[in-house]
Amino acid sequence: MRTDHHGPLTVAVIGGSGLYELFEDGLERRIDTPYGTRVEVTIGRIGGREVVFLPRHGRDHSVPPHRIDARATIWALASLGVRALISTAAVGSLHAALTVGTICIADQLVDRTHGRADTFFDGAVVRHLPFADPFGGRLRTQALAACPEAVDGATVLVVQGPRFSTRAESEINRANGIDVVNMTLYPEVALAAELGIDTVALCLVTDLDSGESAEDAVTAEAVFAVLAEARPRLVSAVARIVAAVPADYLGRDLLDRDAIEQVLRAPVR
């Protein structure tokens, strides 16, 4: 296990289901946060540079979607200087063209979660986040150029989880123009944007949501089988995107630099 690192930590990778490790030899760090959650990250090399990695659900997939402390995660990454975030996510497809095994790069997001802490500005300092294009930064353009095999664009619906959709929900979502369904990208993407971090979401289609019949409805076992098969392709895509991010990448336009600094100065516990 390494004991030090060199250079700026501009880029982070959050691994979704099935992506729990990224480096053979990494430096482990534990970061205390203001939210009572200690975030464990690994710093290592991929795509020719040092990046920060953490598995969204924990290394043993022990944290369910609705229990992820996204504020602690994003605060920890921002405290390390991260400006570009590559998030991988397992998704169920509602679009005929997005077949199982497809990697798509999301361009829109619909939130249907509840009870999740989704802002850093919920106290004396209030800021209103421009979020019309949640994945509208330069990072997405660079990711598409680095991964020509990925489908350009998908509207991802984030549901509460951990259960999968009913057949009626799938039909309603499809009729409303939803392309893929996920459980974790919100509030992660919005919180990152509040702290000036640009996010690209690599969405791997693992299933057809409720399916057209009982035989092809999603199961956890089927999802993890697809994730295991696709892992080398997903890691390759991540490495190419990392390599494409400029060393001096500045991230999203900041809401208010002073307000963000105030968030990052909050006492840890």
Asked if residues 27 and 221 have their Cβ atoms less than 8 Å apart, the reply is no
Q: Which residues contact 4 (CB under 8 A, 6 or more apart)?
A: 27
209 as an active site residue: the answer is yes
- Residue 33 — φ and ψ, nearest 5°? -125, 170
Strand locations in the chain (E): 11-15, 27-31, 39-46, 49-55, 84-93, 103-105, 108-112, 151-152, 155-159, 180-182, 198-207
Catalytic-labelled residue, pool 118, 209, 248, 258: 209
Among the options 207, 216, 256, 258, which is catalytic? Answer: 207
Type of residue numbered 121: F
Judge whether 195 and 260 are in contact, CB under 8 Å. yes
Query: CA 48, CA 21: separation in Å to the nearest integer?
Result: 17
Helix (H) or strand (E) holding 139: helix 138-146
CA distance 56 to 260: 23
According to DSSP, the residues that pair with 89 across neighbouring strands are: 203
Catalytic, 253? Answer no
* SS3 of residue 16 by DSSP: coil
Q: What angle do CA 259, 260, 263 make, to 5 degrees?
A: 90
Q: Supply the residues annotated as catalytic.
A: 207, 209
